[in-house]
Chains A and B, each alone.
Chain A
Amino acid sequence: MRQFWADALAEDLSQGDLLHDAWIGTAGTPRVGLRRGATAKGGKQTWDEGEWLPQADGIGYFLGRGRSAFGIVLSHDCEIDKPGGKQPVLVAPVFPLAVIQAPAIQEMVRQGQRFAFLPLPAIPGVLPESYADFRSICYLPRVGVDESERKQSVGEVGKNAITTRLIAFFTRVQMDDVAAQKRGA
């Protein structure tokens, strides 16, 4: 069986890239708005809790919740590989399979029986056998992606696995039926 992971890191940010130390999360609950507070000693910015108060462009700050984790890039290459790009990058968090306690569920994920989970082979010295959790896909600003470390890229097998699983997870469409339609057209 051919490799899921590529032998070398892709030159540019690509779909399937494994990010290390990616800040993955979303707004915390209950919702807490943040406003810039006074500048503390040493030039440190402080933040005050308060009502949601966006700036003129409609963007503001709020309290987030998440974790620093491995993440796998889901955005398509051509959306994100432009030099100096500022496009947001869709990322799914990646967790070790070992965090799943029940052996039956662990096996279910390993076999790829649930569309929401993409099983990922281990990368020696980098990543234990893991899974990407599509239930918690989020976007990261490009700067945030660049601040994390790209550890590995996927090969053709990995890319196809991501594509087929995304289709199944988001659409529940029998793509072989669609392909049959195409052939019959």
Chain B
Amino acid sequence: MHGFESYIPSRWLDGILSIHVSTPSVSKGKVVVRTGLWASKRVMAAAVAAGAICAAVAIVEPASIADPRQHFHDLVDVSKQGEYAPAGYFERLTAAVSLARRLPAQAIDRDPPVLV
């Protein structure tokens, strides 16, 4: 049978997650064969969990994976709390310092002795 009516995806899992079993047993002196479908709940649960995690990672990708620089604090935001240097602070200061004159070197030969 080929066509739309043969499109049954659940059948694809036959033999993997679900196995058709036939169990012979004795009932009232007769051998009875019971047929059934065994599905591994554990395998199914693991598969569902793995799928969910993969889907979550794909949909909501952690920023630290997308951009490793996110490991570092966002200086612009946190500087508002006074905890980190404002963005560009050291660049501006370095530029200003590079243009500044230097104080004269000082002689050390008349220094008092080091007492520690």
Instruction: Specify the main secondary structure of chain A where it touches its partner.
Output: mixed
Contact B110 A108 (CB under 8 A): yes
Contact with A along B89-116 (1 / 0, CB 8 A): 0001101110111110110101110111
Closest beta carbon of chain A to B50's beta carbon, Å: 38
Q: Given A100-B112, A109-B112, A114-B111 in contact, is the A178-B103 Cβ separation under 8 Å?
A: no
Q: Given A105-B110, A108-B110, A178-B97 in contact, is the A66-B116 Cβ separation under 8 Å?
A: yes
Contact A116 B101 (CB under 8 A): no
Closest beta carbon of chain A to B94's beta carbon, Å: 10
Q: How many residues of A contact B (CB 8 A)?
A: 34
Contact A173 B100 (CB under 8 A): yes
Contact with B along A61-74 (1 / 0, CB 8 A): 00000110100000
Question: A5-28: which residues lie under 8 A (CB-CB) from chain B?
Answer: 24-26
Q: Closest A-chain residue to B116, C-beta based?
A: A136
B103 interface neighbour in A26, A100, A115, A182, Cβ under 8 Å: A115
Instruction: Specify the main secondary structure of chain B where it touches its partner.
Output: loop
**Which chain B residues border A108 with CB–CB below 8 Å?**
110
How many pairs, one residue from A and one from B, have CB atoms within 8 Å of each other in the complex? Answer: 69
Contact B115 A178 (CB under 8 A): no
Q: Closest A-chain residue to B115, C-beta based?
A: A95
Q: How many residues of B contact A (CB 8 A)?
A: 19
Contact A174 B102 (CB under 8 A): yes
**Which chain B residues border A24 with CB–CB below 8 Å?**
116
**Which chain B residues border A25 with CB–CB below 8 Å?**
116
Q: In whole angstroms, what is the CA distance A175 to B97 when docked? A: 8
Seed contacts A93-B116, A133-B112; 12 additional CB < 8 Å A-B pairs:
A67-B115, A104-B110, A105-B111, A108-B110, A115-B106, A135-B111, A136-B115, A172-B103, A174-B100, A175-B100, A178-B97, A181-B95
Query: Which residues of A come within 8 Å of B, CB atoms?
Result: 24-26, 66-67, 69, 93, 95, 99-100, 102, 104-105, 108-109, 114-117, 133, 135-136, 138, 168, 171-175, 177-178, 181-182, 185
Query: Which residues of B come within 8 Å of A, CB atoms?
Result: 92-93, 95-97, 99-103, 105-106, 108, 110-112, 114-116
Nearest first, the 7 A-B pairs at minimum CB distance are A177-B100, A181-B96, A136-B116, A174-B101, A172-B103, A100-B112, A178-B96
